[in-house]
Amino acid sequence: MTELVRDVPFQQFIVKLHSRCNLSCDYCYVYHHVDQSWRDRPKVMSPRTIEAVAARIGEHAEAYGLREIFVVLHGGEPLLAGPAVIEDVITGIRSRVPAATRVDVTLQTNGTLIDERFVEVFARHDIGVGISVDGGREANDRHRVFADGRPSFALVEQGLARLRSAGDLWTGLLCAVDVTNDPLATYEELVALRPPQIDLLLPLANWVHPPAAAAGGTPYADWLITVFDRWFWAPHRETGIRLFESIIGLLLGGISDTEAVGLNSAKAITIETDGQLEASDALKTTAPGRGATGLSVHRDSLAVATRHPRVLEMHRTFDRLPPLCQTCPVVKVCGGGHFSHRYGHDGGFAHPSVYCADLRKLIGHVNRAVVDALGLAA
Ligand code: SF4
């Protein structure tokens, strides 16, 4: 298979192995938001689709001469697919990319199903594992529960212990910010789990579906600033916090490591269990089908997807930002925030982030802390 080489290639491939989840978190963007397309998808990615996914990623890496690609195994809950499917996907992709292409694989899981079989597969295929947890037992179990209301934290702890016993596979924690949780207690509980990194995520919200705590003020900035001060001024670095490290990096002229801030981001494509290509999972929080491209690995090359309007509109460049962002003093750091947070009633993204005031305040605070720490004149 050959592709026409032009446009910006994808570097990150989010592969949905299973479209269902064993948890029913109340804020989940897959099951409890406006896009209900999961109902029509196959539960597990089939061998035929796995083969097509591997072939498409392989031809994409070859056509664009990609030296490194990032494969993120995702769901629903990807572990529901079972260890054999995980192995098939990874061996399939690695066998299809050119020998010079490094394939970096991570898997994002709720952590409740990790057992020895999975750990053995993770170790054998060098798969980094990220676990979603929202704090300690109380904070986590307020939202992250089974459909019958049973809590999940105890199972996550067990899964984490199994993962740790296998060495260096754990990449970190992914934590959705809930401002009703105490920020310091949440940080201490997360750090007590000894994660290599924490990813603090603002809730997926936008101007049509505003954040729960949106009634005036800057509750998200205030929550994050409390955590930042505890983390930044600690006598030694206890863990990495991706959002804060990205803001600091951007303030110092570097690049962002998260799509939450900054004007750069890895170009990513999401592949659903039926092989359909979606611009981004986060768009499931905007309008039904807003992320759909109508393309499929069974018919279309990934090069075609790089030119799709739904993909192009997500490129984080200055000239794609709304006028207000273009004149904003923190635009080079904020970058308009997360793309999905800019969705408005007109069905487009030409708006500042629904978290604009929070982002400005947080970035200003981090800037002052960096200036203080470096002993610079403001
Ligand atoms: S702080 Fe607000 S106006 Fe400034 S770049 Fe971010 S979203 Fe746009």
Assigned domain for 282 exists: yes
CA distance 141 to 359: 28
Comparing C-alpha atoms, which of 248, 215, 244, 221 is closest to residue 355?
221
Assigned domain for 371 exists: no
- Which amino acid is residue 357, in one-letter code? A
Q: What is the number of the ligand 1 atom nearest to the C-alpha of 359?
A: 1
CA distance 271 to 16: 6
Question: What is the pLDDT at residue 372?
Answer: 93
Question: What is the pLDDT at residue 220?
Answer: 96
pLDDT per residue of the chain (378 residues) written in tens, 0 to 9: 444 445 789 999 999 999 888 777 676 655 555 555 656 778 999 999 999 999 999 999 999 999 999 999 998 899 999 999 999 999 999 999 999 999 999 999 999 999 999 999 999 999 999 999 887 777 767 777 777 778 778 899 999 999 998 888 999 999 999 999 999 999 999 999 999 999 999 998 999 999 977 667 899 999 999 999 999 999 999 999 999 999 999 999 999 999 999 997 668 999 999 999 999 888 887 888 888 999 999 999 999 999 999 998 888 889 889 999 999 999 999 999 999 999 999 999 999 999 999 999 999 999 999 999 988 655
Reading the block at residue 309, the tokens are 């309007």
- Check pocket membership of 359 for ligand 1, CB cut-off 6 A: yes
- Check pocket membership of 262 for ligand 1, CB cut-off 6 A: no
Please tell me the total count of domains within the chain: 1
Would you list the DSSP string of 188-211?
HHHHHT--SEEEEE--S--SSS--
Assigned domain for 187 exists: no
Q: Which residue CA neighbors atom 3 of ligand 1 most closely?
A: 325
Assigned domain for 84 exists: yes
Assigned domain for 98 exists: yes
Q: What is the number of the ligand 1 atom nearest to the C-alpha of 352?
A: 7
Separation of 218 CA from ligand 1 center, angstroms? 14
Assigned domain for 362 exists: no
Question: What is the pLDDT at residue 230?
Answer: 98
Q: Which residue CA neighbors atom 6 of ligand 1 most closely?
A: 336
Domain containing 27: what range? 12-176+266-315
Separation of 214 CA from ligand 1 center, angstroms? 16
Question: What is the pLDDT at residue 4?
Answer: 47
Assigned domain for 207 exists: no
Separation of 133 CA from ligand 1 center, angstroms? 28
Give the number of residues written for the chain: 378
CA distance 353 to 332: 14
Q: Which of 202, 224, 359, 365 to mutate to test the pocket of ligand 1 (most atoms within 8 A of CB)?
A: 359
CATH assignment at residue 22 = 3.20.20.70
- Which amino acid is residue 276, in one-letter code? Q
Q: Which of 360, 361, 366 to mutate to test the pocket of ligand 1 (most atoms within 8 A of CB)?
A: 360
Question: What is the pLDDT at residue 36?
Answer: 58
Assigned domain for 273 exists: yes
Task: Report the DSSP beta bridge partners of residue 271.
Answer: 15, 277
Question: What is the pLDDT at residue 140?
Answer: 67
Rg (CA), the chain: 20
Q: Which residue has the tokens 């955590």?
A: 227
Question: What is the pLDDT at residue 289?
Answer: 84
Which SS3 state, helix, strand or coil, does residue 29 take?
A: coil
List b or e across 241-251, with b for residues whose CB sees 16 or more CB atoms inside 10 angstroms: bbbbbbbbbbb
CA distance 294 to 280: 13
Separation of 184 CA from ligand 1 center, angstroms? 26
- Check pocket membership of 330 for ligand 1, CB cut-off 6 A: yes
H-type alpha helices, the chain? 47-64, 83-96, 116-124, 137-143, 153-165, 183-192, 219-232, 242-251, 302-306, 309-312, 323-326, 331-334, 356-374
Kindly report the backbone phi and psi dihedral angles of residue 69, in degrees, each rounded to the nearest multiple of 5, phi listed first.
-130, 160
- Check pocket membership of 341 for ligand 1, CB cut-off 6 A: no
Question: What is the pLDDT at residue 27?
Answer: 66
With a CB cutoff of 8 Å and minimum separation 6, the contacts of 234 are none
